Homo-oligomer: A and B are copies of this chain.
Protein backbone atom coordinates (compact mmCIF):
# COMPACT_ATOMS: atom_id res chain seq x y z
CA UNK A 1 0.00 0.00 0.00
CA UNK A 2 1.78 3.14 -1.18
CA UNK A 3 0.24 5.43 1.41
CA UNK A 4 2.28 3.69 4.09
CA UNK A 5 5.33 4.93 2.26
CA UNK A 6 4.69 8.55 3.11
CA UNK A 7 7.68 9.70 5.12
CA UNK A 8 7.58 12.76 7.36
CA UNK A 9 11.30 13.35 7.52
CA UNK A 10 13.52 14.65 10.32
CA UNK A 11 12.87 18.08 11.87
CA UNK A 12 16.27 19.37 10.82
CA UNK A 13 15.74 18.38 7.23
CA UNK A 14 13.76 21.43 6.23
CA UNK A 15 16.62 23.74 7.10
CA UNK A 16 19.30 21.56 5.52
CA UNK A 17 21.25 23.52 2.87
CA UNK A 18 20.59 20.91 0.20
CA UNK A 19 16.82 21.01 0.83
CA UNK A 20 16.84 24.80 0.74
CA UNK A 21 18.83 24.77 -2.50
CA UNK A 22 16.27 22.37 -3.99
CA UNK A 23 13.42 24.61 -2.85
CA UNK A 24 15.16 27.61 -4.41
CA UNK A 25 15.49 25.64 -7.64
CA UNK A 26 11.73 25.01 -7.54
CA UNK A 27 11.13 28.73 -6.95
CA UNK A 28 13.28 29.77 -9.92
CA UNK A 29 11.92 27.05 -12.21
CA UNK A 30 8.38 28.09 -11.37
CA UNK A 31 9.21 31.75 -11.90
CA UNK A 32 10.68 31.08 -15.34
CA UNK A 33 7.75 28.81 -16.19
CA UNK A 34 4.92 31.14 -15.20
CA UNK A 35 6.61 34.24 -16.64
CA UNK A 36 6.85 32.47 -20.00
CA UNK A 37 3.63 30.63 -19.27
CA UNK A 38 1.60 31.65 -22.28
CA UNK A 39 3.31 28.73 -23.99
CA UNK A 40 2.76 26.09 -21.34
CA UNK A 41 4.15 23.03 -23.11
CA UNK A 42 7.39 24.65 -24.23
CA UNK A 43 7.93 26.57 -21.00
CA UNK A 44 7.26 23.47 -18.91
CA UNK A 45 9.81 21.41 -20.85
CA UNK A 46 12.35 24.05 -19.88
CA UNK A 47 11.21 24.37 -16.27
CA UNK A 48 11.35 20.62 -15.70
CA UNK A 49 14.77 20.45 -17.34
CA UNK A 50 16.41 23.21 -15.35
CA UNK A 51 15.17 21.79 -12.05
CA UNK A 52 15.65 18.10 -12.84
CA UNK A 53 19.08 17.59 -11.34
CA UNK A 54 18.61 19.81 -8.31
CA UNK A 55 15.07 19.38 -7.04
CA UNK A 56 13.67 16.71 -9.34
CA UNK A 57 12.02 19.37 -11.48
CA UNK A 58 8.49 19.09 -10.04
CA UNK A 59 7.47 22.72 -10.73
CA UNK A 60 3.94 21.66 -9.67
CA UNK A 61 2.47 21.10 -6.18
CA UNK A 62 0.42 18.19 -7.57
CA UNK A 63 3.56 16.45 -8.84
CA UNK A 64 5.17 17.00 -5.44
CA UNK A 65 2.04 15.48 -3.86
CA UNK A 66 2.26 12.51 -6.22
CA UNK A 67 5.91 11.98 -5.29
CA UNK A 68 4.94 12.24 -1.60
CA UNK A 69 2.16 9.63 -1.94
CA UNK A 70 4.61 7.22 -3.56
CA UNK A 71 7.20 7.84 -0.87
CA UNK A 72 9.74 9.45 -3.16
CA UNK A 73 9.98 12.68 -1.13
CA UNK A 74 9.45 13.43 2.58
CA UNK A 75 6.59 15.58 3.86
CA UNK A 76 8.94 18.27 5.19
CA UNK A 77 10.69 18.62 1.88
CA UNK A 78 7.33 18.57 0.14
CA UNK A 79 6.14 21.53 2.24
CA UNK A 80 9.31 23.43 1.33
CA UNK A 81 8.65 22.73 -2.34
CA UNK A 82 5.02 23.84 -2.09
CA UNK A 83 5.99 27.16 -0.47
CA UNK A 84 8.69 27.76 -3.08
CA UNK A 85 6.35 26.87 -5.96
CA UNK A 86 3.59 29.21 -4.77
CA UNK A 87 6.04 32.06 -4.16
CA UNK A 88 7.62 31.52 -7.58
CA UNK A 89 4.26 31.73 -9.30
CA UNK A 90 3.28 34.90 -7.45
CA UNK A 91 6.67 36.49 -8.16
CA UNK A 92 6.35 35.74 -11.87
CA UNK A 93 2.87 37.30 -12.02
CA UNK A 94 4.11 40.41 -10.22
CA UNK A 95 7.08 40.71 -12.57
CA UNK A 96 4.77 40.29 -15.58
CA UNK A 97 2.44 42.95 -14.20
CA UNK A 98 5.37 45.32 -13.69
CA UNK A 99 7.03 44.62 -17.05
CA UNK A 100 3.81 45.07 -19.00
CA UNK A 101 3.01 48.27 -17.17
CA UNK A 102 0.04 46.89 -15.25
CA UNK A 103 -1.49 44.08 -17.28
CA UNK A 104 -2.66 41.21 -15.11
CA UNK A 105 -2.46 37.53 -15.94
CA UNK A 106 -6.08 36.36 -16.01
CA UNK A 107 -7.00 33.92 -13.27
CA UNK A 108 -8.17 30.46 -14.33
CA UNK A 109 -11.93 30.21 -14.60
CA UNK A 110 -14.66 27.91 -15.84
CA UNK A 111 -16.20 28.68 -19.21
CA UNK A 112 -19.91 29.39 -19.32
CA UNK A 113 -21.96 26.23 -18.89
CA UNK A 114 -19.13 24.22 -17.30
CA UNK A 115 -19.98 23.17 -13.77
CA UNK A 116 -17.32 22.91 -11.09
CA UNK A 117 -17.84 19.15 -10.85
CA UNK A 118 -17.12 18.75 -14.57
CA UNK A 119 -14.03 20.88 -14.16
CA UNK A 120 -12.85 18.73 -11.27
CA UNK A 121 -13.24 15.62 -13.45
CA UNK A 122 -11.21 17.30 -16.18
CA UNK A 123 -8.46 18.24 -13.74
CA UNK A 124 -8.44 14.73 -12.23
CA UNK A 125 -8.09 12.94 -15.57
CA UNK A 126 -5.57 15.39 -17.00
CA UNK A 127 -3.40 15.47 -13.87
CA UNK A 128 -3.59 11.66 -13.72
CA UNK A 129 -2.08 11.65 -17.20
CA UNK A 130 0.58 14.16 -16.20
CA UNK A 131 1.70 12.44 -12.99
CA UNK A 132 1.53 8.99 -14.61
CA UNK A 133 3.91 10.41 -17.24
CA UNK A 134 6.21 11.79 -14.53
CA UNK A 135 6.30 8.36 -12.89
CA UNK A 136 6.89 6.44 -16.13
CA UNK A 137 9.60 8.67 -17.55
CA UNK A 138 11.30 10.25 -14.51
CA UNK A 139 10.66 8.32 -11.27
CA UNK A 140 10.48 4.66 -12.38
CA UNK A 141 13.93 3.07 -11.86
CA UNK A 142 13.30 1.08 -15.06
CA UNK A 143 12.97 4.26 -17.11
CA UNK A 144 16.34 3.83 -18.86
CA UNK A 145 16.91 6.06 -21.89
CA UNK A 146 13.43 7.54 -21.54
CA UNK A 147 14.79 9.71 -18.74
CA UNK A 148 16.66 11.72 -21.35
CA UNK A 149 13.46 12.94 -22.99
CA UNK A 150 11.37 12.97 -19.77
CA UNK A 151 11.11 16.79 -19.66
CA UNK A 152 9.85 16.76 -23.24
CA UNK A 153 7.15 14.14 -22.60
CA UNK A 154 6.07 15.90 -19.40
CA UNK A 155 5.74 19.20 -21.23
CA UNK A 156 3.88 17.62 -24.14
CA UNK A 157 1.21 15.88 -22.04
CA UNK A 158 0.42 19.24 -20.47
CA UNK A 159 0.34 20.87 -23.89
CA UNK A 160 -1.91 18.15 -25.31
CA UNK A 161 -4.27 18.32 -22.33
CA UNK A 162 -4.54 22.11 -22.64
CA UNK A 163 -5.74 21.67 -26.23
CA UNK A 164 -8.58 19.51 -24.90
CA UNK A 165 -9.49 21.10 -21.58
CA UNK A 166 -8.32 24.66 -22.11
CA UNK A 167 -11.56 25.83 -23.65
CA UNK A 168 -13.65 24.34 -20.84
CA UNK A 169 -11.88 25.26 -17.64
CA UNK A 170 -8.40 26.51 -18.46
CA UNK A 171 -6.65 23.15 -17.98
CA UNK A 172 -4.32 23.98 -15.13
CA UNK A 173 -3.20 20.59 -13.74
CA UNK A 174 -1.05 22.71 -11.45
CA UNK A 175 -2.31 24.52 -8.33
CA UNK A 176 0.66 26.91 -8.29
CA UNK A 177 0.02 28.02 -11.87
CA UNK A 178 -3.55 28.86 -10.80
CA UNK A 179 -2.45 30.39 -7.49
CA UNK A 180 -0.21 33.19 -8.82
CA UNK A 181 -2.80 34.85 -11.07
CA UNK A 182 -5.47 34.34 -8.38
CA UNK A 183 -3.36 36.25 -5.84
CA UNK A 184 -2.34 39.08 -8.14
CA UNK A 185 -5.85 39.57 -9.54
CA UNK A 186 -7.43 38.54 -6.21
CA UNK A 187 -9.95 36.28 -7.91
CA UNK A 188 -10.84 33.16 -5.93
CA UNK A 189 -14.01 31.93 -7.65
CA UNK A 190 -13.78 28.15 -8.05
CA UNK A 191 -10.09 28.30 -7.09
CA UNK A 192 -10.55 25.11 -5.02
CA UNK A 193 -11.20 23.23 -8.30
CA UNK A 194 -7.54 23.71 -9.27
CA UNK A 195 -6.33 22.20 -6.02
CA UNK A 196 -8.79 19.34 -5.49
CA UNK A 197 -8.73 17.99 -9.04
CA UNK A 198 -4.94 17.93 -9.49
CA UNK A 199 -4.30 16.46 -6.01
CA UNK A 200 -6.83 13.62 -6.58
CA UNK A 201 -5.45 12.90 -10.04
CA UNK A 202 -1.87 12.96 -8.79
CA UNK A 203 -2.62 10.62 -5.90
CA UNK A 204 -4.44 8.16 -8.19
CA UNK A 205 -1.56 8.10 -10.66
CA UNK A 206 1.00 7.65 -7.88
CA UNK A 207 -0.94 4.78 -6.29
CA UNK A 208 -1.60 3.00 -9.61
CA UNK A 209 1.91 3.38 -10.98
CA UNK A 210 3.74 2.71 -7.75
CA UNK A 211 1.68 -0.35 -6.77
CA UNK A 212 1.38 -2.02 -10.16
CA UNK A 213 4.35 -0.96 -12.26
CA UNK A 214 7.09 -0.31 -9.70
CA UNK A 215 5.91 -2.86 -7.13
CA UNK A 216 6.78 -3.59 -3.53
CA UNK A 217 9.88 -5.69 -3.90
CA UNK A 218 11.98 -3.60 -6.24
CA UNK A 219 11.00 -0.34 -4.56
CA UNK A 220 13.87 1.53 -3.04
CA UNK A 221 12.61 2.20 0.47
CA UNK A 222 13.14 5.70 1.76
CA UNK A 223 14.79 5.36 5.19
CA UNK A 224 12.63 7.28 7.66
CA UNK A 225 15.69 9.04 9.03
CA UNK A 226 17.35 9.65 5.70
CA UNK A 227 19.24 12.85 5.11
CA UNK A 228 17.46 12.86 1.78
User: A128 CA to B157 CA in the complex, in Å?
Assistant: 26
Is there an interface contact between A121 and B98, defined as CB atoms closer than 8 Å?
Answer: yes
Q: A53-B142, A115-B101, A125-B99 are in contact. Are A38 and B164 (CB under 8 A)?
A: yes
Q: Please state if A46 and B156 are interface contacts (CB–CB under 8 Å).
A: yes
A161 touches B54 (CB 8 A): no
Query: Would you call the interface of chain A mostly helix, strand, loop, or mixed?
Result: helix
Q: A36-B157, A36-B164 are in contact. Are A151 and B151 (CB under 8 A)?
A: no
Oligomer copy total = 4
Q: A28-B208, A129-B35, A212-B24 are in contact. Are A46 and B160 (CB under 8 A)?
A: yes
Please determine whether A53 and B151 come into contact, CB atoms closer than 8 angstroms.
no
Contacts of A36 in B (CB 8 A): 126, 129, 157, 160-161, 163-164
How many A residues touch the partner, as a band?
A: 35 or more
Q: In the complex, how many angstroms separate the beta carbon of A115 from the nearest chain B beta carbon?
A: 7
Kindly list chain B residues whose C-beta atoms are within 8 Å of the C-beta of A113.
Answer: 101
Name A's B-contacting residues (CB within 8 A).
Answer: 21, 24-25, 28, 32, 35-39, 41-43, 45-46, 49-54, 95-96, 98-101, 113-115, 118, 121-122, 125-126, 128-129, 132-133, 136-137, 140, 142-149, 151-153, 156-157, 159-161, 163-165, 168, 208, 212-213
Q: 15 new A-B pairs (CB below 8 Å) besides A32-B157, A39-B164, A149-B151?
A: A28-B208, A35-B125, A36-B161, A36-B164, A38-B163, A43-B156, A45-B156, A46-B129, A52-B146, A53-B142, A54-B213, A96-B164, A99-B118, A99-B121, A100-B118
**Contacts A/B (CB < 8 Å), 18 sampled:** A28-B132, A35-B164, A36-B129, A36-B163, A37-B160, A38-B164, A41-B42, A42-B159, A43-B156, A49-B136, A50-B153, A52-B146, A53-B146, A100-B168, A101-B115, A101-B118, A146-B148, A148-B149
